[in-house]
Amino acid sequence: MRDATGIKNYKVIQQTIQHRRVLLVAENGFPEEKAHLIEARLRERLGERVRISTERVEHIPRSRSGNHRYVESCMPIPER
């Protein structure tokens, strides 16, 4: 996605085992079909059972350290 034309920034968030949320900061005129293509490509990698939802946003905040995280997981870390 980094090289995709029309996308300024993105972030993939793993909400649950079966749900990924994709935040997109897109340029004006970014076609909805291209967002569907991104979903399809992610589904090829993650499997048909994974639900993928895309959201267009104006801005994606940086982490506390000032870095941009392209992938984030909200899943709890299992105890050992």
Confidence class for position 47, pLDDT limits 50, 70, 90: very high
Q: Give the chain's radius of gyration (CA, Å).
A: 13
The average confidence (pLDDT) of the chain is: 89
Residue type, 4: A
Instruction: Give which of 14, 28, 19 is closest to 74, Cα–Cα.
Output: 14
Residue 79 DSSP symbol: P
pLDDT at position 19, please? 94
Residue 41 φ/ψ, nearest 5 degrees:
-65, -40
Q: What is the mean pLDDT of the segment spanning 9-32? A: 92
Stated pTM of the model: 0.83
Mention the CATH class of domain 7-73. alpha beta
Full DSSP string of 14-38: EEETTEEEEEEEE-TT--HHHHHHH
